[in-house]
Structure 1
Amino acid sequence: MAGRIRIGVSGWRYGPWRGNFYPPGLPQHRELWHAARHFNSIELNGSFYSLQRPSSYAQWAAATPPGFVFAVKGGRFITHMLKLRNAQAALGNFFASGLFALGDKLGPILWQFPPQLPFDAARFEAFFAALPADTDAAAQVALRRDHRLQGRELLQPLHRQRLRHAVEVRHDSFVDPAFIALLRRHGIAWVVADTPQPWPLYEDVTADFVYIRLHGSTELYKSRYTPQQIGRWAAAIEAWRHGGQPDDARLVSGQAPPRRAARDVYCYFDNTDKLHAPDNARELMAALGMALEPAEGAGWQAGDDPRRARGPRNRPGRPG
C-alpha cells in the first residue's frame, strides 16, 4: 500500500510555454485542457490574487478529466493584508467564491504567508482553528461572506469531503519545533518549499499528506532542476508515499511524525519563467514510473473545433 502521487505545475497560462509545452496553434482557452491531460493536478493560483467566480471554478472542473485535482491557493487578502487578523468575513468570501463548484476535484488548500510575517503562536492557533476540516464546515464558514459576494456566491458543496490545508512559510522564526507541533495538532501540512534562499527549506511531515513546491534550486522561479536533483526528489516522494521520510530529511523538530502506512504526496513545479516547469514535472513523473502520455484520444489536434470543451479564463499565471 502506498499513497497517491500528484505531480503538476503552478498555474497554466504562460507565454513561453506556447509552441513548447503547448502545441503550436493551440487556442489559449484550451491550455488547461491540454495541461490536465499530461498532469494529474495543477495548483490554481489566480485565487491568491483575487476572488474568483463560481462560473470560473465550474469551467475549470469541466475542462479537466475525471480524477484530476486542483490545489487552490488561499487569498492574499487574508494572509498578506489582514495577516490572519479579523479574517472571519474574508474567509467566508473565499469559501463562498466558488470552490465548491470544483466538486470532487477540490484538493488541498495552500496558505502562503509573506516573508514579513513571523511566527506568533496565538495568531496561528486562532487561524488554524478557524480553518474548516470538511466541506460541511466550509459551508458554514461561507455563510459569513459579506456584501461583496452578493449575487455571485456558491454556498452549497457539490461533493462532501474532508479538506486538507497546507502552509508555506517565508520567515525564519517558523523554524521552531513549537510550530511543527502546532501543525501536527491541527493536521496541517508544512509545505516543503525548495528555493535558493532566503526562505527556509525543511521537510518535517506534519499531516497525513505531503505538499511540495519547487520554485527553482539556484535561481528563484527560473532555474531548471538537474537529473540528480530530480532523482533526489523522486526518492523523497517514494519515502513519503510509503509513510516514512527520507534518510537525509532536513528537519526542524527532533520529534518524528507518527508512522503511517501511506501518505498522499502533492508536488508542483513553480520554476516557470524559462519553460522548465512542465519539463521538470514530466522528468519527475518518469523517475517515479508515472505515465507521461495522455490517454488515447485526449490530445489536441490542429483543426479541432475551438468551441469544444471551451476551457476557463484564468488570469495569467504568476510565480508565488
Structure 2
Amino acid sequence: MSDFTMILEADRRLGPVVRRTPLLSSPFLDEIAGKRVLVKAECLQHTGSFKFRGGYSAVSALDPEIRSRGVLAYSSGNHAQGVARAAQMHGVPAVIIMPSDAPALKIANTRAMGAEVVLYDRAGESREEIGNTLARDRGLTLIKPYDEPQVIAGQGTCGLEIAAQAIEEGVRDADVLVCCGGGGLSSGIALALEADAPGLRVRTCEPEGFDDTARSLASGSRQSNAAATGSICDAILTPSPGEITFPILKRLAGPGLAVSDAECRRAMALAFLRLKIVVEPGGAAALAAALFRPDQIPGDTVIAVATGGNVDPALFADVLANDL
C-alpha cells in the first residue's frame, strides 16, 4: 500500500529527471467559472502526461537484476509512453500492450521510445490475461497503470508540487479536480495533500456514462461501467476503480464529478486559446468540470489538473475548428 513516505522516496528518485510543471491561470477562465481557476499543466510533463512520474517511479524502484530482464505495461497510451520512456532511460527492454483503437500518435510514440507494442481488441480481449502470459513467458515485470504502489507514489509527487504551488499562490482551501481512470493519480495526489496541504481536497472527474469512480464514492463500494468504449476520453476509460486506489479515495476524496464529451472538447479549445497548452480529451475532464460545474464546487478557488496532451493532430484541429 502506498503511503506518504513512499511518495517522498519517489520524489527523491524523480527529482533529477522530472519536470516541475507550472500552475497556470487566465482571467478569461476565471470569468467562465465565476471563481479563480488554477491549472496544473501535467500535459507539459515528459512524454506529454503525468504518467511519466509513475512509470519512472516504478521502474527506478525495481531491483537492478530484475529490472534488467525488462518491464511490461498495458495502457491506452499515456502509461505506455511513461513506462517506455522510463525503461529507455534505464536501458532495459519494454513490452507495452495497447488497445487497437488507441490514438495512432500514442502507439507511434510508444514504439519510437524503443518499446515493443502488442495490440489487442479492447472489447473482446483481456489485457490482463495477455499481460500475465507475456510476463510469465518472458520473465518481464508487470507495471500496472494504477493498482501498483510505486506507480501511485510516483503520481503522488504531482500532489507535492500542487501543495507547494498552492501556498505560493496564497491558496490553502480548495478542491483539486483530477481526471480519473483507475485512480492512480487521484489517490497519489490525495495522499500527498493529506500530509502537505490538508485544506486541499481531491475530486475525481470522469466522462458521463463512464463515471465509475463517482458512483463508487457515492455508494461506498466499487462500481463498474456498463460499456468499455464510447467516449472521446480514451485515456480515462477504465472498467472500475482500482482495488488499491479506491480505499484511498473513499477515505480522502470528495464527491466525484462527471462531464460530457462536448464539455471536454470546449475545455481543450479554451486551454489552447487562454493558456496556450495542448490538452487531450481525457486530460481536459478536470478543467471542464472546473469551468462547467461551478455550482458543484465550493469556495472561490479551484485547482484543475490537465493530465495529458497526447491528442491526435486531426482531432485537435477539429476541436479548434468547431469548439472555439
Tell me the TM-score normalised to structure 2 length. 0.28
Greater Rg over alpha carbons, structure: 1
Structure with greater contact order relative to length (CA < 8 Å, sep ≥ 6):
1
- Higher-helix-fraction structure: 2
Tell me the TM-score normalised to structure 1 length. 0.28
